């Protein structure tokens, strides 16, 4: 029993030690350095994901694809620092009004760390591309794809079965609630598409492909890590209805429109496209404005005049202007003016969903308030000798 108490005390002392604090801060500094170097080959998104949104940094795949953890990544270091802060807080600070400033300061730091975890877990970014005089009620994630089966049999509403990218694996069979099934004959995370020169190909039943993709060939390509060159996925799918094979279809970004699947008595379409996030409202682009500095091609200002169309709340139907430094915040989403296309007739908005966006403000307020209170209390206790 004494050994257990001694081990528990040693563990508690370790978690509350200054050595763990310094080790955690040093690990964070090293991760920042490695992440910065990794951006050259991996790009910003993948480098941050590997170094800060993971538990460990792993070796390259070894025998049977297994990898060895080499160094703690951002998540593990963050948990260690939160535990260190909590244990050190309760070990060294007493419950006293004289320490209230330090209690608030530590609470603010803990909330800041927790907020970072929540942001990494729940925040998402996507894009909304709108052409003038059109409306949209969804945004798209250019880094992730989905295979959508659209049942348009009902003239009033479409039923969409979305298969996320993580399920699109070669050889995978996906059963849908409408008694249909999809067999992924081949899936490439990044592919080039070229005109097929003959009926021979790397996939089963290559000559039996139907639809617009029957004359195209998928060519597997290395993954792209460039921030401005997202991966272009492609897949070959066999479609079954109640166990009966309907045929094979090929999908890629080169075939952006949904392909019709011949199912008796139903209007069924399949499409591979960027992952979509649908909203209970739509945005109508009335006018896009793009101004440049005189004598240059550098943008000085670009903005989108948007009309919000919200059927659930008629009072929210209004016009608003989204510009470079003035985003639109609406129903938990933030719309930033990001870019434009097609001779200034298309506006590209960056859409950010971050439920924990207020946490850094709360944390900063508590830290500042705690430091002010602590300073005033210390000032009150100070003795001035004439």
Say whether both 98 and 159 belong to one domain: no
> Which has more confidence, 207 or 262?
262
Compute the distance between CA of residue 374 and CA of residue 108 in angstroms, rounded to an integer.
14
Q: Are both 93 and 157 inside the same structural domain?
A: no
- 119 domain residue, yes or no: yes
Q: Is residue 84 part of a domain?
A: yes
**127-155 pLDDT per residue, tens:** 999 999 999 999 999 889 999 999 998 88
The CA dihedral of 117, 140, 216, 341, to the nearest 10 degrees, is -120
Residues 248 and 299 in one domain: no
Same-domain check for residues 43 and 69: yes
User: Which DSSP string corresponds to 296-336?
Assistant: S--EEEEEEEEEEE-SS-GGG-EEEEEETTB-EEETTEEEE
329 Cα distance to chain centroid? 19
Please check whether residues 62 and 166 belong to one and the same domain: no
Q: Strands 333-341 and 328-330: what pairing? A: antiparallel
Q: What is the pLDDT of residue 207?
A: 61
Query: If you average pLDDT over residues 248-256, what whole number do you get?
Result: 85
Tell whether 45 and 112 lie within a shared domain.
yes
In a domain, 111, yes or no: yes
User: Which of these ranges, 254-258, 264-268, 302-306, 370-374, has the smallest mean pLDDT?
Assistant: 254-258
> Three-state DSSP class for 148?
strand
Predicted TM-score (pTM) of the model is 0.81
Give the separation between CA 198 and CA 187, rounded to whole angstroms: 21
Mean pLDDT for the stretch of residues 161-182: 92
Whole-number pLDDT of residue 365:
95
Task: For residues 223 and 251, state if they share a domain.
Answer: yes
Q: Read off φ and ψ for residue 184, nearest 5 degrees.
A: -80, 100
Question: Do 237 and 149 share a domain, yes or no?
Answer: yes
Question: What's the rounded Cα separation, in Å, for the pair 269 and 267?
Answer: 7
**What is the pLDDT at residue 366?**
94
If DSSP codes are grouped into helix, strand and coil, which group holds residue 60?
coil
Separation CA 305–CA 132 (nearest Å): 10
State the Cα–Cα distance between residues 60 and 40, nearest whole angstrom: 18
Domain edge (last residue) among 253, 275, 297: 275
Q: Mark whether 339 and 375 lie in a shared domain.
A: no
Residues 217 and 321 in one domain: no
The answer to whether residue 8 is domain-embedded is yes
Would you say residue 32 lies in a domain?
yes
Asked if residue 254 and residue 210 are part of one domain, the reply reads: yes
Domain limit, last residue, from 208, 240, 275:
275
Number of domains the chain contains? 3
Containing structural domain, residue 80? 2-123+359-381
In a domain, 386, yes or no: no
Residue 203 corresponds to which tokens in the numbers above? Answer: 């996939």
For CA atoms 37, 42, 47, 50, the dihedral sign is: negative
Distance CA 77, CA 75 (A): 6
Task: Single out the residue in 224, 251, 275 at which a domain terminates.
Answer: 275
Among the listed ranges 71-75, 89-93, 239-243, 365-369, which one has the minimum average pLDDT value?
89-93
Segment among 65-74, 221-230, 337-346, 371-380 with least mean pLDDT:
221-230
pLDDT for the residue 324:
83
pLDDT in tens, 210-234: 888 877 788 888 888 776 778 889 9
The answer to whether residue 377 sits within a structural domain is yes
108-132 tens-digit pLDDT? 988 988 888 888 888 999 999 999 9
Between 336 and 91, name the one with better pLDDT.
336
Burial 262-272 (b: 16+ CB within 10 A, else e): ebeeeebbbbb
């Amino acid at each position: 029993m004494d050994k257990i108490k001694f081990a528990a005390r040693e563990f508690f002392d370790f978690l509350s030690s200054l050595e763990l604090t310094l080790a955690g801060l040093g690990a964070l500094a090293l991760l920042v350095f490695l992440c910065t170097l990794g951006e050259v080959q991996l790009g910003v998104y993948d480098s941050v994901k590997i170094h800060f949104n993971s538990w460990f940094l792993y070796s390259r795949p070894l025998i049977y694809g297994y990898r060895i953890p080499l160094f703690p990544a951002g998540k593990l270091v963050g948990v260690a620092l939160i535990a260190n802060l909590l244990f050190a807080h309760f070990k060294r600070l007493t419950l006293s009004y004289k320490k209230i400033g330090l209690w608030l300061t530590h609470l603010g730091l803990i909330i800041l760390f927790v907020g970072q975890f929540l942001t990494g877990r729940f925040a998402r970014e996507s894009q909304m591309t709108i052409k003038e005089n059109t409306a949209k009620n969804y945004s798209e994630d250019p880094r992730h794809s989905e295979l959508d089966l659209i049942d348009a049999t009902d003239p009033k509403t479409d039923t969409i079965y979305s298969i996320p990218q993580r399920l699109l694996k070669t050889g995978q069979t996906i059963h849908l609630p409408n008694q249909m099934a999809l067999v992924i004959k081949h899936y490439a995370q990044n592919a080039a598409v070229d005109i097929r020169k003959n009926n021979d190909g790397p996939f089963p039943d290559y000559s039996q492909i139907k639809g617009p993709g029957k004359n195209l060939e998928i060519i597997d390509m290395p993954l792209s890590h460039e921030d401005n060159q997202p991966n272009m996925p492609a897949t070959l799918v066999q479609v079954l209805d109640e166990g009966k094979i309907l045929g094979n279809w090929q999908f890629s970004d080169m075939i952006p429109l949904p392909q019709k699947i011949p199912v008796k008595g139903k209007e069924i379409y399949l499409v591979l496209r960027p992952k979509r996030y649908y909203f209970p409202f739509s945005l109508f682009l009335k006018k896009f404005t793009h101004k440049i500095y005189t004598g240059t091609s550098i943008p000085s200002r670009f903005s989108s005049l948007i009309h919000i169309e919200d059927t659930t709340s008629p009072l929210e139907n209004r016009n608003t202007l989204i510009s470079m430094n003035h985003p639109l915040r609406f129903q938990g989403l933030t719309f930033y003016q990001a870019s434009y296309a097609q001779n200034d007739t298309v506006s590209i908005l960056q859409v950010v969903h971050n439920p924990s966006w207020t946490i850094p403000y709360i944390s900063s307020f508590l830290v500042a308030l705690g430091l002010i209170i602590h300073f005033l209390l210390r000032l009150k206790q100070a003795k001035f000798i004439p």
